[in-house]
């Protein structure tokens, strides 16, 4: 019996190791047994021109189901970006077209310091992405709105670019662009994703150039993404990450087919709320040092990856 339990644990670690090392062997990863496929010939949830390897990784991620209490993000390709920094030529954003279900796909941003910006007040957002309900839910006695209109490419790093992503001085940030908005949980948007967005933002403030790509990952024909596949690389190599950010909310469970949520005391998320690299990054903006991906990984390991420490080392 003990031997069987030991074997089961080893198999579990092996399966997760495959995911963290780049999802290269899709058939070895477990799924929830859903009959949905990651895409269809008519309705694809990734941008045209996506490579075969990216499609395989996407399909693998789409099959994964978040387990309560797990880390808020996991590494893809051992945390290393597959983007080529040599492709940075000029500031722009390539917005992926909406798919057959009107869902976001992949946005790739080629960013410089010129794309940073903030405004005194933002205009109201009117676009309703798929799965958007904005319904209040009572969690632990508090009335909360667990959904955000989440930007794939953050508003504050998309200035001086047109709605089509071309450089033009004086343009405000991407606020209400349908190709850049998806239904994202408040926790995923304001906690987990901020950790990685701040790495990009800080590098830009230090005059570096960054390629930053975000893909919303949907399972089958579901309307709310299961997660955000985020990766970036700077031309000097100081920024280099590749992660899958779970689209989850503590105390709330979602029907991803519709986007509707309900209070669920069993749903817990480990990690992102305790990671301090966001604060460290802000403190270092006027120095020559950028908070590195390795620092973030160490903190996520400490707070969210404990159960799989052997798999990620």
> What six digits make up the tokens of 23?
């999802």
What radius of gyration do the chain's Cα atoms show?
Answer: 19
Of these ranges, 41-45, 140-144, 212-216, 281-285, the one predicted with the greatest mean pLDDT is: 212-216
Joined together, the tokens standing for residue 28 give 């070895």
pLDDT at 123: 77
Q: Could you tell me the domains of the chain?
A: 43-312 (3.40.570.10)
pTM metric for this prediction? 0.78
Helix ranges restricted to H, the chain: 2-20, 52-63, 186-187, 193-205, 277-283, 293-303, 309-312
Contact 176, 123 (CB under 8 A): yes
Contact 201, 155 (CB under 8 A): no
Q: Which residue has the higher pLDDT, 120 or 233?
A: 233
pLDDT in tens, 266-311: 999 987 666 555 444 444 444 445 455 566 556 555 554 443 333 3
Q: Closest Cα to residue 167, out of 233, 111, 234?
A: 111
- Give the highest mean pLDDT range of 49-63, 132-146, 236-250: 236-250
How far, in Å, are 81, 142, 226 from residue 63 at the CA level?
A: 21, 32, 9
Q: What does the pLDDT read at residue 117?
A: 93
Mean of pLDDT over the chain: 79
Give residue for tokens 């209109």. Answer: 149
Please state, in angstroms and as integers, the Cα–Cα distance from residue 303 to each residue in 48, 67, 265, 300, 311, following that order: 37, 16, 20, 5, 15
């Amino acid at each position: 019996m003990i031997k069987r339990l030991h074997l089961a644990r080893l198999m579990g670690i092996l399966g997760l190791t495959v995911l963290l090392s780049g999802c290269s062997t899709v058939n070895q990863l477990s799924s929830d047994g859903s009959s949905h496929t990651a895409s269809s010939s008519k309705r694809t949830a990734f941008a045209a021109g996506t490579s075969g390897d990216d499609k395989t990784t996407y399909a693998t991620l789409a099959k994964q189901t978040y387990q309560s209490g797990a880390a808020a993000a996991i590494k893809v390709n051992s945390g290393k970006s597959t983007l080529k920094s040599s492709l940075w030529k000029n500031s722009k954003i390539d917005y992926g077209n909406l798919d057959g279900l009107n869902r976001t796909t992949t946005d790739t941003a080629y960013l410089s310091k010129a794309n940073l910006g903030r405004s005194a007040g933002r205009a109201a957002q009117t676009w309703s992405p798929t799965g958007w309900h904005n319904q209040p839910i009572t969690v632990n006695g508090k009335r909360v709105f667990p959904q955000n209109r989440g930007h794939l490419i953050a508003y504050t790093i998309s200035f001086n670019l047109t709605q089509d992503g071309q450089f033009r001085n004086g343009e405000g940030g991407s606020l209400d662009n349908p190709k850049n908005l998806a239904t994202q949980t408040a926790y995923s948007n304001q906690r987990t994703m901020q950790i990685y967005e701040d790495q990009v933002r800080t590098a830009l403030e230090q005059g570096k150039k960054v390629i930053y790509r975000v893909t919303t990952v949907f399972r089958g024909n579901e309307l709310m993404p299961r997660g955000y596949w985020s990766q970036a690389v700077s031309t000097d190599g100081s920024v280099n990450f590749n992660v899958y950010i779970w689209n989850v909310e503590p105390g709330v469970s979602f029907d991803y087919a519709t986007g509707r949520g309900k209070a669920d005391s069993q749903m817990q998320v480990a990690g992102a709320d305790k990671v301090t690299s966001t604060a460290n990054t802000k403190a270092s903006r006027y120095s020559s040092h950028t908070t590195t991906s390795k620092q973030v990984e160490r903190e996520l390991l400490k707070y969210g990856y404990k159960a799989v420490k052997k798999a990620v080392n």
